[in-house]
Amino acid sequence: MRSVRDFTAGVGFFLQGFGWVARNGRWWLFGLIPALIAFALYAGVLIYLGTNAMGVAEFLTPFADSWSWRELFRTLVGIALFGGGVVLAVLTFAALTLAIGEPFYEKLSAAVDVLETEHEQPWWRTLPRSIRDSLVTLFYVLLFTIPLFFLGFVPVVGQTVVPVLGALVSGFFLTVELTTLALERRGMARKQRFALLRANKASALGFGVAVFLLFLVPFIAVIAMPAAVAGAAMLVRERVAPGGGTGADGRPAQLR
């Protein structure tokens, strides 16, 4: 029961993020700028992939030239390629948007989650580390999602169990990305951030799954991105690392 309550609380933090940006409209508009840039990039790539999926499928399956059902097979491959592209776009949208708009979202996160003492560095110094951490996170995402992608072709399991597992995996790693700003302001490195989120797994999953499902809807991801950043800051402040911040020695004040 506690896990269910924590999962529900995680969803609630995302809704609270919407409430915060709705009350602070200028921050919402402020956070839309990098999200719109990232959306335009992804839209261009997905449109290209959608219009050329059959050609890519044909290129990847020369062994099927002699099959009588090659057109059906390549159509399925093309659909799978486009579907995989959409899922990958959803999984990486937050990371790319945060990288593009780091100075925007740092200010938004700080406005939501005010700390007495924080580990602050100029954004041009933190950007390379953020990109590296996002690539590491993407590696772990692919480690889970690639096997799930192929399991998706298994009858019954692929249409029932796999989508649920995919949403849980994707949701957790979206939470990893979105809480980075608030946890870095507490002086926490990537391994420490992962440890904290694993210790609060149900809340992290509730928050991330809600974000993931909403991000599947075209253009809603752009509108929801500032709310996701705000909600992640609230999740960290109230559930993951309450009373956090850094001490005089620069170490996190709370690690649990």
Q: Minimum mean pLDDT among 32-41, 155-164, 238-247: which range? A: 238-247
**Sequential DSSP letters for 58-109:** HHH-GGGTT-TTHHHHHHHHHHHHHHHHHHHHHHHHHHHHHHHTHHHHHHHH
**Per residue in 62-88, pLDDT tens?**
888 888 888 888 888 888 888 888 878
Residue 118: pLDDT band by 50, 70, 90 thresholds? low
> Domain residues of the chain, as ranges?
2-240
Give one word for 160, left, alpha or beta, with left for phi > 0 and alpha for psi -120 to 50: alpha
Distances from the Cα of 252 to the Cαs of 133, 199, 256, in angstroms? Answer: 19, 16, 10
Residue 252: strand pairing partners: 246
**Sequential DSSP letters for 32-49:** HHHHHHHHHHHHHHHHHH
Tokens 């709705």 sit on residue:
22
If DSSP codes are grouped into helix, strand and coil, which group holds residue 252? strand
Confidence check: pLDDT of 242 > 80: no
- What is the rounded distance in angstroms from the CA atom of residue 52 to the CA atom of residue 203? 40
Neighbouring CB atoms inside 10 A of 253's CB total 16
Residue 93: pLDDT band by 50, 70, 90 thresholds? confident
Give me the pLDDT at residue 119, please: 59
**Per residue in 135-191, pLDDT tens?**
788 788 888 888 887 787 777 877 788 889 989 998 999 999 899 888 988 888 888
**Per residue in 220-234, pLDDT tens?**
888 999 999 999 999
Identity of residue 132: R
